[in-house]
A = this chain, B = another copy of it.
Amino acid sequence: MEIEKKFTVRSMPKLDDYDYHKIEQAYINRKPTMRIRRQDDEYYFTYKGEGLMAREEYNLPLNEEAYCHLKEKADGKVITKTRYLIPYGGYTIELDVFEGELSPLVIAEVEFPSIEEAKSFTPPEWFDKDVTSDPKYQNSNLSK
């Protein structure tokens, strides 16, 4: 079960010192979410059950050949983004800076070990709106 909250941002932190991943991803189905992702030099297939804040998630390994084969079957746009990993209290803010057609969109995600912690989370000042419940900001919808 993945529990996460999602926010737009008001201003960007200085990003030079943070680790990051280069991500390319696409969808072969939207409900349930079936996603392929290249993260740096690794390839994954992800299945997510229904739901917004908490949903079942499976991450399964792919190889490059399978990734390229499945990318040809993608629905809609291929999304590219840089994901910065920003420590914040005991959490990690994943700051997705979208590229290409979706630029200059930026979305921050934070994952939690429990729904209680998700509910009591105090976001940093540079976060703007909580868009966890807004389907518009789901990557599967951004790919449309």
Count chain A residues whose beta carbon lies closer than 8 angstroms to a beta carbon of B.
18
Within the complex, the shortest CB–CB distance from A128 to chain B, in Å, comes to: 33
Q: Given the known A-B contacts A45-B47, A47-B45, A73-B73, are A60 and B31 also in contact in the complex, defined by CB atoms under 8 Å?
A: no
Q: Does A65 contact B (CB under 8 A)?
A: yes
In whole angstroms, how far apart are the Cα atoms of A49 and B65 in the complex?
15
In whole angstroms, how far apart are the Cα atoms of A141 and B82 in the complex?
38
Residues in B with CB closer than 8 Å to A69 are: 29
Within the complex, the shortest CB–CB distance from A84 to chain B, in Å, comes to: 30
Most buried by B among A49, A60, A63: A60
Query: Which residue of chain B lies nearest to A29 when distances are taken between CB atoms in the complex?
Result: B66
Tell me if B58 and A58 are in contact (CB < 8 A).
yes
Q: Does A97 contact B (CB under 8 A)?
A: no
Tell me if A70 and B29 are in contact (CB < 8 A).
yes
In whole angstroms, how far apart are the Cα atoms of A98 and B73 in the complex?
27
Query: Which residue of chain B lies nearest to A33 when distances are taken between CB atoms in the complex?
Result: B66
Tell me if A28 and B58 are in contact (CB < 8 A).
no
Q: Given A31-B65, A32-B61, A34-B70, output 6 extra A-B contacts at Cβ < 8 Å.
A: A29-B66, A29-B70, A32-B60, A34-B45, A47-B47, A47-B60
CB<8 Å pairs between A and B, sample of 25 = A28-B28, A28-B70, A28-B73, A29-B66, A29-B69, A29-B70, A31-B63, A31-B65, A31-B66, A32-B60, A32-B61, A32-B62, A32-B63, A32-B66, A34-B45, A34-B66, A34-B70, A45-B47, A47-B47, A47-B58, A47-B60, A49-B61, A58-B58, A58-B60, A73-B73
